[in-house]
Amino acid sequence: MMNCSKYKRVPVLHYPEREWPDKEIQHAPIWVSVDLRDGNQALVEPMVVEEKIELFNMLVKMGFKEIEVGFPAASQIEYDFLRQLVDRKMIPDDVTVQVLTQCRDQLIKRTFEAIQGIPKAIVHIYNSTSTLQREVVFHASKEEVKQIALDGVDMVKKYMSDYDGKVILEYSPESFTGTEMDYAVEVCDAVVERWGATPDNKVIINLPATVEMTTPNVYADQIEWCGKHFKNRESIILSIHPHNDRGTATAATELAMLAGAERVEGTLLGNGERTGNVDILNLAYNMFSQGIDPQLEISDIKHIVEVCERVTKMPTDPRKPYAGKLVFTAFSGSHQDAISKGVAALKQRTDGIWEVPYLPIDPSDIGRKYEPVVRINSQSGKGGVAFVMDTYYGFRLPKGMHKEFADIIQSIAERQGEVAPPQIMEEFKKNYIDRKEPMHFRKCQITDREYEGGGFATAATLTFTDHGVERVVEGTGNGPIDAVQRALEKALHINIRVLDYSEHALTTGSEAQAASYIHLLNQDTGEATYGVGISSNITRASFRGIFSAVNRLFYRDEQ
C-alpha cells in the first residue's frame, strides 16, 4: 500500500459566510496572457525573439489588452525581445504590456531601462509569502517578508522618476494559497497603502495559486475572504493566476471569478510550469458556450493551436477541451446516433439556438468542421454510419437500412480499425449502387392500361440482361414498381414483395440526381434486404434499386 500518512491535509479556510455559490459568471474578466513569460520559462526549448514576436502578434489579434511580455531583467533575450517591440513600434495604443521582476534594486532598475519608450506598462513585483517558504527558503519572519514587498514598492517609485510613461503597479504574494489569509491581506494592504492607490489610480493585487494545493472551492473562499477584508478594496483590481497542479485550474478560476476576481492571468492551452497555468482558451470557450461574449477573437482554434505548437515545440493533447483533434468526435454508437438526430432536428428549428447532444458548441463556430464529429470504428453504431453518409455524401438512408449497412462497415472496422468516410462510401457503392450483376437493368417502357368498367393498371415492358443475355419481359401491377416486381417474379421464378420504398434528391439544379431505396422481401425464405439506385430520373432510380436488391438477395454468391 502507498504511504499516504507522509502527507498532511492543507488547512481549509473556515468561511461559512461565503456568497460565491449563489452567483453566476455574467461577463468576461480582464484577460492577461502570460504565455511569453510564465509559459516561455517552462519550455524545454524557450522561444527565440522572432518566435516571441509571432506569438505576441497573434495575442494582439486575438484581442488581449494586457500581455505579460517577460522578465526583461532576467536574461538578454528577454530584454532584447521587449526592445524589439518598442523599437519596431509593435505595441498597439490599446495594449498594455506587463513585465515581471523580483523586489531587487538592480532587477527593477534594469526593468525600467527595458520599458523606456512605452507609454503605459504594468510593473509586476512579487515575493513569496507562504509559511513553508518563509521557513525553509528565506528563514525570515512575517515582518521581514512584508518588508521585502514594501521595499519593492519603494524601488518602483524611485525608478519611476526617470520613466516617461505611466506605471501600473501589480503585486503578487507568491505562493498565496499556502499563506495565512490574514497575513496575505496584511501584506497586500501594506503594498496598496505604500503605493498610494486610489479608485482613480488602482493597484493590481494578484492572488496566485502558484501551487494548486486543494479543491477549487477553497481557492474561491480565499479569494472572496481577501476581497472582503482588504482595507481599500475600491482601489484594487483583484487578479488571479491559477496553476494546474491538481488538474482543476479551470474550475478554480471559474469559482474564483464568482468570488470576485476581476482579472485572470493564464496561457493559451495551459502551457506553464509543472502541470501548467490555467488555460485561457478553455475558460473563454466555456463562457462562449453559455452565451457570454468572451471578448477574445477565438473563432479559428486550428490556427491558434498551429502557432502555439510551432513556437513552443509542444503538441496539443487530442482530448484537450475545444482544441484537441478528437474533442468533437464521437466513436460510441449511441453518441453518434444522438448527434445525428440532434443535427437533423436542428435543421428544422428556426430559433437559431444550438442544441445538439454531446456537442456543447457548434464546431464550426471555432473553425472546426462537422466532418470530424463522427468517426467510425468497431465501437460505432448504425447512427454514426448513417450520419457520415448523410453529412458527407447526401444519402439519407431509411431507418431500416441503418443497421444493415452499419454491420458491413463494422465488420471492416473490426479487421482494420477506423474506417474513413471515403472507404464507407466505397463500400456503399460496392454493396448497393454497383450491384448490377448478374441481373442488369437496361430499360423499361411504362404504359397505362384501361380495363372494362373504368379500371386502370400499369404495364411494364422490362429489358434487362440475365448473366449477359438480354431478356424482355412484361408485368402488370398497380404502379411502375409493382409492375416491374411482377415482371421479375415471372421471369426469374422468384416470390418477392416490396416492403418499403423511399427516395430523395441528391443534388439540386438541372443535373440533379435522385436516390431510391427499395426494401425487398424474399417471401419464400423471409429474408429481406435493401437495394439502392441512383439516376436523374426518379422512376429509373427505383428500377435500379429493385435490381440492386434482387442481386443482393438472390445472387450474393455470384458477386
pLDDT in tens, 89-141: 999 999 999 999 999 999 999 999 999 999 999 999 999 999 899 999 889 99
Question: Percentage of residues in the chain with pLDDT exceeding 70?
Answer: 96
Q: What is the pLDDT of residues 311-358, one digit of tens each?
A: 999 999 999 999 999 898 877 777 878 888 888 899 888 899 999 999
Can you tell me the distance from the alpha carbon of 553 to that of 559, in angstroms, rounded to the nearest whole number?
Answer: 11
Domain ranges of the chain: 29-188+265-312, 333-431, 439-558
Instruction: Count CB neighbours of 327 within 10 A.
Output: 18
Confidence bin at 23 (pLDDT 50/70/90): very high
Q: What average pLDDT does range 42-50 have in this prediction? A: 93
- Regarding pTM above 0.85, the answer is no
- The pLDDT tens digits for 339-352 are 888 888 998 888 99
pLDDT tens-digit readout, 452-474: 566 688 999 999 999 999 999 99
Looking at residue 330, its pLDDT comes to 78
Indicate whether 260 pLDDT > 90. Answer: yes
User: What fold does the segment set 29-188+265-312 form as a domain?
Assistant: TIM Barrel (3.20.20)
CB contact at 8 A, 410 and 424:
no
| Average pLDDT, integer, range 498-516 | 85
| Residue 392: pLDDT band with limits 50, 70, 90 | confident
Quote the percentage of the chain above a pLDDT of 90: 83
Task: Tell me the pLDDT of the chain averaged across its residues.
Answer: 93
* Burial status of residue 47 (CB atoms within 10 A of its CB: 0-12, 13-18, 19 or more): buried
Question: In this predicted structure, which of 239-248, 367-376, 534-543 has the lowest mean pLDDT?
Answer: 367-376
Q: How many helices (H) and strands (E) are present in the chain, helices listed first?
A: 17, 14
DSSP readout, 282-309?
Answer: HHHHHHHHTT---SS--S-HHHHHHHHH
Name every residue whose Cβ is closer than 8 Å to that of residue 486 and which is 6 or more positions away in sequence. 460, 475, 476, 477
Helix (H, G, I), strand (E, B) or coil at 97: strand
Q: Is residue 221 within 8 Å of residue 15, measured between CB atoms?
A: yes
Angle at 336 between CA 326 and CA 348, to 5 degrees: 110
Burial group, residue 308, by CB count within 10 angstroms (0-12, 13-18, 19+): buried
Q: What is the mean predicted confidence (pLDDT) over 421-426?
A: 93
Give the Å distances, CA to CA, from 30 to 63, 170, 327, 366, 425.
11, 14, 27, 21, 49
The helix (run of H) or strand (run of E) holding residue 469 is strand 469-477
| pLDDT band for position 25 (cuts 50, 70, 90) | very high
**pLDDT value, residue 271:** 96
CATH topology of domain 439-558: Double Stranded RNA Binding Domain (3.30.160)
